[in-house]
Amino acid sequence: MKKPTISRLWPFNKGGSPASQEAPGEAPNVTPEPEKNSAALEAMLREAKPGAPVQLDEVFVIPRITPREHEWYYGARCRWCHRSSAAIHDPNEGQTRLSFSGRGEIHFHCHHCAGLLKVTPAQILWFEFDG
């Protein structure tokens, strides 16, 4: 009899999802998506030209941050606590809003309730954190 296991949600495994529960020696049935970290996303935001969309085609795993009041962030609306949650600091410091497109995602934890958010480019918000 196979013992039940509990998969952790953080840190993510390759592919951005909890560990699969396949038996050892079995070949995985899905190819994992490439995964990138916050440094790669920050570099993309710094290099982006105003007016041109930032193309997200990978899964970006962002560590939980503590936003500072009156600073600009990209993030999303949390589906659990319904508050705007910051994922990454705006490198332009509120001077220029960037738009996002593509089939990628940003995975991060809400800094209010610690809920896991998996955000598509269409769901990304730009906001000034007001505490």
User: What per-residue confidence (pLDDT) applies to 40?
Assistant: 87
Partners of residue 61 on adjacent β-strands? 37, 107
Half-sphere exposure of 17 (CA within 13 A, CB side): 7
Q: How far apart are CA 93 and CA 70, in angstroms?
A: 10
Buried b (16+ CB within 10 A) or exposed e, 14-41: ebbbeeeeeeeeeeeeeeeeebbebeeb
Q: Give the model confidence (pLDDT) of 54-96 as tens digits.
A: 999 999 999 999 999 999 999 999 999 999 999 999 988 888 8
Q: Give the model confidence (pLDDT) of 48-64 as tens digits.
A: 988 789 999 999 999 99
Mean pLDDT of 91-106: 91
**Which residue, chain included where needed, has tokens 């800094």?**
111
Q: What pTM value is reported for the model?
A: 0.70
Q: Where are the domains of the chain?
A: 51-121
Strand 59-61 and strand 35-37: pairing? parallel
Q: Give the model confidence (pLDDT) of 5-24 as tens digits.
A: 444 444 444 444 444 444 45
CA distances from 66 to 8, 69, 89, 129 (A): 22, 10, 10, 11
